[in-house]
Amino acid sequence: MNTDTYDYIVVGAGSGGAAAAARLSESGKHSVLLLEAGPPDKNIWTRIPLGVAKVLEQAKVTRSFFTEPDPNMDNRKIYWPRGWVVGGSSTVNGMIWVHGTPREYDLWAEDGCPGWAYKDLQPWFKKIESFQGGDDATRGRKGPVTITEYKPVDGMPDAFLDSIQQAGIAPRVKDYNARGFGGSYLQFNTRNGVRCNTRMAYLDEATQRPNLTLLTGAMVGRVVIENKRAVGVAAKVDGKDVQFKARREVILSGGAFNSPQLLELSGIGRRDVLAAAGVPLLHELQMVGENLSEHVYSPLMYRSRAEVSWNSGLGSPMGQAKLGLQWLTTRKGPMATSSITAQAFVPLTPDRKDAEIKLQVQQLSISNNRGAGKLKPDTFPGVTLASFQIRPRSRGSCHIASSNPTADPILFSRHFTHDDDIHHCLTALRMSRRIAETGPMARLLEEEVRPGGKAASDEDLIAYLRATGATAWHPLGTCRIGSDASQSVVDPQLRVHGIQGLRIADASVMPTIASTNTNAISIAIGERVADFIQRGA
Ligand SMILES: Cc1cc2nc3c(=O)[nH]c(=O)nc-3n(C[C@H](O)[C@H](O)[C@H](O)COP(=O)(O)OP(=O)(O)OC[C@H]3O[C@@H](n4cnc5c(N)ncnc54)[C@H](O)[C@@H]3O)c2cc1C
């Protein structure tokens, strides 16, 4: 095999890219090069599920992006970290496993994305997971990503789910993934108490194949395009400039910020953006870097009874040692979770059939609400009731400002520019308060400490949302799928409009947020790109 020419080149070994490269190499017939800018996944804290806090603090395997000051968020720059390591964001995420609400995918199909309705996606969710709960009709048993349902160690998850039901907000169900509605214990992508990221699920096995080459520390700077066909990529590997050629196709899986960035650096995108950045225009595509969507995560924090808060265990060296020992010997307990233990997908009002809000309980309280820096639990026993509106309508953007591939793209969040969004977030905060005051939750919670009871009016709560609303870690949509090239970046088979041999397979292609956490659907997109290619679609 010629070392610098491959059949397929996949850029980015994250959720989408790892799945795509593994499946493209499965038959053994084609050579595949997987280029990852970050290091190998060897950090102990990425293995331990609760190590996610340490991972985010250390920034050894993440890249820290910040938005421009957002006028609707008190001019704050919102922190949007991404995984920068083999496994990508699946190596640093909260491991919450969710398929998404069927209605959202059906809307994708109705809005110019044929083949992306829930009936088209559900077989892929089944194919990628291995879960021993739920029903055969909706859940997979033999896929590469192992899913584990949380087993409560105290009364908090039951109190949370029962109070949601008693408050008349949504039912308690066996499996929230069955139809993206109702509440149940959290499902994590963990295997034997260890994070099951896409490195473990796909690449450990796939990289044993002689036809798959994974190069880490390989930062791709642009796609090489000749006569509107992608023929390879230009990268820096260990500080040296290298070009790799693709006989068949290049697949970009750099994630929601870096895939549009790579298109623009390669001369594909908006005329005005490329002119300002000094990049010659090869192919005009209006929607590159537009349509950026993100949930606004908003927490209420409570002083709670000591037995349901993990603050003291995680906040002291002695407590950490105890929990660490429990994890080492049993692979169970708080360390085998990301500290969120139950969640529910609920409608805005009880008469509605579709979920519009996600509610979750985290058995920790931290004053730094998902900002950069140290994440230290409060010194008192505390828990967090967090929420986000699952279908935000506001849109931001992600564009290059220069031709330098190592510079961050410029990110505009533009939260709450659509009026519905702040009102839905407000409704979610009020729901969390109702849950806190209902039945079993009321018996476990003592006092709301953030924002606290003084924040009573809608104006107070809206001010709190603007002052503290944070990332849900789900930015996406910047290379959206669509049949009309003036309204999208890739077609429903994930081919970049107007360029041969170039596809995108990551969170950037979603036309709207998949109504939930976004890892499962990002992996499904990676699986699907390989399937489209193999079927000649
Ligand atoms: C902190 C955090 C917590 C989260 N929690 C959850 C959760 O609990 N549940 C859930 O479902 N979702 C969660 N998410 C979201 C989910 O993990 C992501 O949506 C998903 O992983 C995105 O997949 P992707 O393929 O688009 O990108 P990524 O997985 O981010 O992969 C992109 C990869 O491309 C590489 N790359 C980028 N540019 C280049 C380049 N130029 N050259 C070479 N390589 C490049 C990056 O290093 C990275 O490895 C979380 C995300 C984060 C960051």
Q: Angle, nearest 10°, between helix axes 156-166 and 419-436?
A: 110
pLDDT at site 290? 98
pLDDT of residue 161: 98
Residues in CB range of 535: below 8 A, 6 or more apart: none
Give the pLDDT confidence of 42-83 residue by residue, as tens digits.
999 999 999 988 888 878 899 999 999 999 999 999 999 999
pLDDT for the residue numbered 54: 87
- State which amino acid sits at residue 477: G
* Residues 292, 475: Cα–Cα separation, whole Å: 7
For residue 369, the model assigns a pLDDT of 79
Helices (H) and strands (E) in the chain, counts: 16, 25
Q: What is the whole-number distance in angstroms between the Cα of residue 91 and the centre of ligand 1?
A: 8
Distance from the Cα of residue 450 to its chain's centroid: 26
Q: Is 16 in the pocket of ligand 1 (CB under 6 A)?
A: yes
Nearest to 331 by CA among 471, 128, 191, 176: 191
Nearest residue to 18 via CA among 260, 204, 261: 204
Shortest-distance Cα residue to atom 16 of ligand 1 = 519
In three-state secondary structure terms, 22 is helix
User: Which pLDDT does position 143 carry in this prediction?
Assistant: 98
How far, in whole angstroms, is CA 285 from its chain's centroid? Answer: 25
440: enclosing H helix or E strand: helix 439-444
Distance from the Cα of residue 273 to its chain's centroid = 27
- Element of type H or E holding 358: strand 357-362
Single-letter amino acid, residue 182: G
Q: Where are the alpha helices (DSSP H) in 485-536?
A: 519-534
User: Where are the alpha helices (H) located in 26-59, listed in sequence order?
Assistant: 44-47, 52-58
Cα 236 from Cα 243, distance rounded (Å): 9
What is the ipTM for the molecules in this complex?
Answer: 1.00
pTM, 2 dp: 0.98
DSSP 8-state symbol, 292:
B
Omega into 392 within 30° of 0, i.e. cis?
Answer: no
Non-local CB neighbours of 299 within 8 Å, separated by 6+ positions: 362, 369, 384, 385, 386, 387, 450, 468
What are the catalytic residues? 474
Is residue 51 in contact with ligand 1, taking CB distance under 6 Å? Answer: no
Q: Is 21 in the pocket of ligand 1 (CB under 6 A)?
A: no
Ligand 1: residue of 41, 62, 93, 264 to mutate (most ligand atoms within 8 A of CB) is 93
Q: Is the CB of 35 under 6 A from ligand 1?
A: yes
User: What are the percentages of helix, strand and coil residues in the chain, rounded to 5?
Assistant: 30, 25, 40
Q: Nearest 5°: phi and psi at 46?
A: -80, -20
Domains of the chain: 5-534 (3.50.50.60)
Joined together, the tokens standing for residue 406 give 């190592």
- Token pair 């070009």 is found at 243
C-alpha to C-alpha distance for 132 and 340, rounded to whole angstroms: 20
> What separation in Å is there between the alpha carbon of 332 and the centre of ligand 1?
26
Q: Which helix (H) or strand (E) holds 235?
A: strand 229-237
Query: Is any ligand 1 atom within 6 A of the Cβ of residue 255?
Result: yes
Report the first-to-last Cα separation within the chain, whole angstroms. 26
Atom 47 of ligand 1: nearest residue by CA position = 84
Task: Give φ, ψ of 401 to 5 degrees.
Answer: -115, -10
Say if ligand 1 is within 6 A of residue 139 CB: no
Q: Give the position, in ligand 1's atom list, of the atom nearest the Cα of 520.
A: 11
Beta-carbon count within 10 A of 58 CB? 12
Residues of the chain below pLDDT 50: 1-2
Instruction: State the Cα–Cα distance between residues 34 and 160, nearest whole angstrom.
Output: 43
Cis peptide before 451 (omega within 30 of 0): yes
